[in-house]
Structure 1
Amino acid sequence: MTSLYIDSPAELLALLPRMRAAPWVALDTEFMRERTFFPQLCLLQVAGPDYVACIDPLRLDSLEPLFEVLLDPHIVKVLHAAHQDLEVIHHACGRLPAPVFDTQVAAALLGAGEQIGYAALVQDLLGVTLDKSQSRTDWARRPLHPAQIAYAADDVRYLREVFARQQAELARRGRSDWLTEDCAALVDPARYTEEPEQAWHRVKGHQNLRGVQLAVLRALAAWREQRANTANRPRRWIVADDTLLELARRSPADLDALARIGGVEAGLLQRHGEHLLDLIATARAEPRTLWPSVTPRRLPGGAQAAQLDALQRVVQAQAGELGIAPSLLASRRDLERLVDGARDVPLLRGWRARVAGQAALALLSAADAGPVAVPAPADGRPDQAS
């Protein structure tokens, strides 16, 4: 099937009825963000039962008619590893398309591992080897070459058959609702918005700071986030993570001390030096009760260690019964938090609670941490994964 290249309003409007005619649409994006804070949507690929199209947003004045279709709640949007594509669409139109069927999530629920790539999935399910020669394309440059358009179109061309097979297999195994639950989390707007005051959590190495240092880092990271947002430049172009950490550690009190910190270049010092010193001083003057904190990881010992081992056996046994990775049910860190008294862990929500979480709670409430019976799969039937 020949793929369409859509770069005019008339061509886009002609495509939309075909998109509305099916209950699903395969979707992918190509974008650039190496030089920007926000992702720049450069190409949007869609496919249905009888078409494959690459839509060029750089040649179109408005994508609003297209977004109206993508935001239709009666049309399932099929993507692979959907998070980044959804982030791009959220930035482009301010909303998130739902419902979503993520074929990477579906693959994990069907036992293919948690992070299988699109090319590997197409190879495994369809026996097709995808051409990856255009993976380093600068998608913002025009004109696009036929090979680039064909490469982009393949990202949705085979997604259709992958979706059909996974949908049928999920239904056969009684796991369709699992997919629905996990994909619903992908379209939570909170995943795609972050308050500047929380940006310090993103700074690599923040776990190594303590006390007032974290208060300083919070102030500096919030400033950087706002600057990067306003200028639409990558965070590292404003100030690198390691420089923020060093500023938080040393808390310079004057321009000379600020200038001696590695990564504080002359331009930054001249334009923002006084303001950075003000931020540092204000953060250091905050009451101790307002300082952020990092809870150090406390490894369980004694009876808690025995409980953790028993929980891992429950999770591993049930994952083995279901033919999925144990980490898909719960990470070791989740189990550590569970033993430590936390109850806001994925294992205790939705389908995970039904297939393993209830057994985990029963184990924790028991008088001892001896052997426990592993529950049967949630549908009560032997799983047919193997």
Structure 2
Amino acid sequence: MTIQYINRPEQLPLLCEQIQQEPWVSLDTEFLREKTYYPKFCLLQIASPSWVACVDPLAIADLTPLFDALYNPNIVKVLHSCRQDLEIFYQITGKIPGPIFDTQIAAPLLGFQENPGYAMLVSSFLNINLNKAHTRTDWTTRPLSEDQIQYAADDVIYLCKIYTIMCEQLDKLGRLSWLDSDFALLNDPELYQLSPENAWLKVRGKNKLTGRQLSILQTLCEWREQTAQAENKPRNWLFPDDMLLELAKLQPTTTSDLAKIRNINERNVNRYGKVLCELIDAARQRPPKPLNEKDRTNKKTPQHEAVIDVLSAVVRIRAEENSLNPIILATRKEIEQLLFGEENCPLLHGWRYNMAGQELQGLLSGKLSLSLSADTLAINPSV
């Protein structure tokens, strides 16, 4: 298959016309973000079963016609592990190019492990071992070699083939529609919005802080996110999470106190030390934002463990009925999340909810009950 390398604006109309004639296309992106906060968009690969193109966004300043074609809601966009790719589209256009089909999300319904890598799918479906020669390529460098372009194009060429096989197998099993709500969630803009005021929620260890310490952590995380965005630097280049936790605990009030903290970056102390101390002092005077229930440490009692055991038995039964590994349907940790009412529990969404989550909720609420015989566990409406 001849690769169309699109690096001039006058080449876009033909590609857009090709896209508009397809019911679906496969997409992938190449980007770098090791030295920046925002990913630097370096290459867009697009393919159908009959053609493939690599578009150079570093050479074409205005990709509006291409985005108009890709955002056609009648064209399914096929990606693998799509969150970072969709983040790029969202940052450029403020929208998500739905509808989406993510092969990583779909794969467990065909017996694969949770979140399988792309190389695993290529090997399993196509019996091809991916070439890793350009895994560490600097995609900002131009010109790209023929090998680099072929390497990038192969990803979407293989993705087309995998998607076709997946759809056939899922349809044969009657599972293709199970994924609709999972894929619909990918169109939620909140997944791709970078909100400084919520940056603290991603820091592990926050639930072990006192109220004053938590207030400081929240303030420092918001400042770090705003600064990283403004300077387009990786947030950890400013201060890593463990250092912000340390600052929240030690609460330095002067730059000299700040400089004495072990492993702190001297250059950052000189540049940001004064504002950090001011922020810490101000945060000490106000109450923190409350932790969500899911961020609190849940201490399981023996009764909790017994309930999780019972719910796990139901999961095993439903998984066996559908020829799935029980771990794909729900891990013990995810069942625990359901028990403690965590909203982001996978059992509350998509096909997992339909297969088991709804029943488990019914058992926990008392609307359903279990009955046992010698070799049968049955779920019945409570009397």
TM-score, length basis structure 2: 0.91
Q: Is the 8 A contact 1:181 1:350 kept in 2?
A: yes
Q: Structure 1 residues 149-158 or 125-134, which shifts more? A: 125-134
1:229 and 2:229 are equivalent in the alignment: yes
SS at match of 2:377: coil
Following superposition, which runs of at least 4 residues in structure 1 exceed 6 angstroms of deviation? 366-370
Matched, 1:161 2:165: no
Aligned CA distance change for structure 1 residues 2 and 374 (closer, same or farther; 3 Å) = farther
> Does the C-alpha gap of structure 1 residues 154 and 367 become closer, same or farther in structure 2, counting only changes over 3 Å?
closer
Answering whether residue 373 of structure 2 is matched by residue 373 of structure 1, we say no
Deviates more, 1:291-300 or 1:40-49: 291-300
Q: What residue identity is the alignment partner of 1:182?
A: D
Distance 1:249 1:370 in 2: 52
1:196–1:226 Cα contact (<8 Å) kept: yes
Give the whole-Å Cα distance in 2 for the aligned partners of 1:302 and 1:234. Answer: 44
After superposition, what is the alpha-carbon deviation per residue over 1:227-248, rounded to whole angstroms, capped at 9, x for unaligned? Answer: 0000001001112222211111
Q: Is the 8 A contact 2:370 2:378 kept in 1?
A: no
Question: Is 1:49 matched with 2:53?
Answer: no
CA distance in 2, matches of 1:358, 1:274: 53
One-letter amino acid of the counterpart of residue 298, structure 1: N
For 1:198, the equivalent position in structure 2 comes to 198
Following superposition, the deviation at residue 342 of structure 1 comes to 5.4
Instruction: Report the Cα offset of residue 369 of structure 1.
Output: 6.8
In 2, Cα distance between the equivalents of 1:334 and 1:196? 28
Q: 2 CA distance for matches of 1:159 and 1:178?
A: 21
| C-alpha contact 1:7 1:55 (8 A) present in aligned 2 | yes
SS at match of 1:31: strand
Identify the residue that residue 246 of structure 1 maps to in structure 2. Answer: 246
Query: Which shifted more, 260-269 or 47-56?
Result: 260-269
Q: Aligned-pair distance for 1:118?
A: 1.4
Say whether the 8 Å CA contact 1:347–1:357 is kept in structure 2.
yes
How far off its partner does 1:158 sit? 1.1
State the AA in 2 paired with 1:202.
K
1:150 and 2:150 are equivalent in the alignment: yes
Deviation string 1:136-191 (CA, Å, 9 cap, x unpaired) is 11111111111110000000011111111111221221212222211111221111
Deviates more, 1:359-368 or 1:348-357: 359-368
Aligned partner letter, 2:308: L
Q: By how many angstroms is 1:367 displaced? A: 9.2
Q: Distance in 2 between matches of 1:62 and 1:342?
A: 43
Distance 1:17 1:341 in 2: 48
Deviation at 1:98, TM superposition (A): 0.1
CA distance in 1, matches of 2:9, 2:106: 35
| 1:184 equivalent in structure 2 | 184
Deviation at 1:249, TM superposition (A): 0.8
- Determine helix, strand or coil for the equivalent of 1:101: strand
Contact preservation (8 Å) 2:79, 2:102: yes
1:271 aligned to 2:271? yes
Q: How do residues 299-338 of structure 1 correspond to structure 2 at under 5 angstroms?
A: 299-338=299-338
Cα offset, 1:224, TM superposition:
0.4
Q: Deviations over 1:328-378 (max 9, x none)?
A: 433433322333355764323443232212331343327987757367xxx
Report which stretch shifted further, 317-326 or 218-227: 317-326
Q: Cα deviations across residues 302-332 of structure 1 (Å, max 9, x unaligned)?
A: 3322111010111122123223343443343
Distance in 1 separating the partners of 2:342 and 2:270 = 47
The answer to whether residue 178 in structure 2 is matched with residue 174 in structure 1 is no
* TM superposition shift of 1:120: 1.5
What secondary structure, in the 3-state scheme, does the structure 2 residue paired with 1:308 have? helix
Structure 1 partner of 2:74 = 74
Q: Aligned pair in 2 of structure 1 residues 35, 253: CA closer, same or farther (>3 Å)?
A: same
Aligned-partner Cα distance in 2 for 1:328–1:69 = 36
The 2-side partners of 1:36 and 1:355 are apart by 42
CA contact (8 A) 1:45 1:53 kept: yes
| Aligned equivalents of 2:47, 2:62: Cα separation in 1 | 20
2:168 match: secondary structure: helix
Distance 2:368 2:44 in 1: 57
2:84 and 2:369 map into 1 onto residues whose CA distance is 45
CA 340–291 in structure 1, closer or farther in 2 if over 3 Å, else same? closer
8 Å contact from structure 2 (residues 179, 350) kept in 1 = no
CA distance in structure 2 between the partners assigned to 1:350 and 1:81 by the alignment: 17
Alignment partner, residue 216 of structure 1: 216
Tell me the equivalent position of 2:3: 3
Residues 257 and 369 of structure 1: CA distance in aligned 2, closer, same or farther (over 3 Å): farther
- Does the aligned pair in 1 maintain the 2:370–2:377 contact within 8 Å? no
Question: Would you say the 8 A contact 1:211–1:293 is kept in 2?
Answer: no
Q: Which amino acid aligns with 2:377?
A: A
Kept after mapping to 2: 8 A contact 1:215/1:292? no
- What are structure 1's unaligned runs of at least 5 residues? 376-386
Match of 1:90 in 2: 90
Which has the higher mean CA deviation after the structures are superposed, 198-207 or 98-107?
198-207
Q: 1:224 to 1:166 in 2, by over 3 A?
A: same
Q: Residue 203 of structure 1 contacts residue 241 of structure 1 at CA under 8 Å; is this kept in 2? A: yes
RMSD: 2.2
Maintained 8 Å contact 2:20/2:69:
yes
Q: Assess, with a 3 A threshold, how the Cα gap between structure 1 residues 24 and 195 changes in structure 2: closer, same or farther.
A: same
Question: What secondary structure does 1:166 align onto?
Answer: helix
- Tell me if structure 1 keeps the 8 A contact 2:181–2:349: no
Shift of 1:29: 0.3
Alignment partner of 2:363: what SS? helix
> Which residue of structure 2 lines up, in the alignment, with residue 31 of structure 1?
31
Letter in 2 for 1:373: L
Percent of aligned pairs with the same amino acid: 43
1:122 aligned counterpart, secondary structure: helix
Change (3 A) 1:205 1:343: closer
Secondary structure of 1:42's counterpart equals: strand
Structure 1 residue 92, shift from structure 2 partner: 2.4
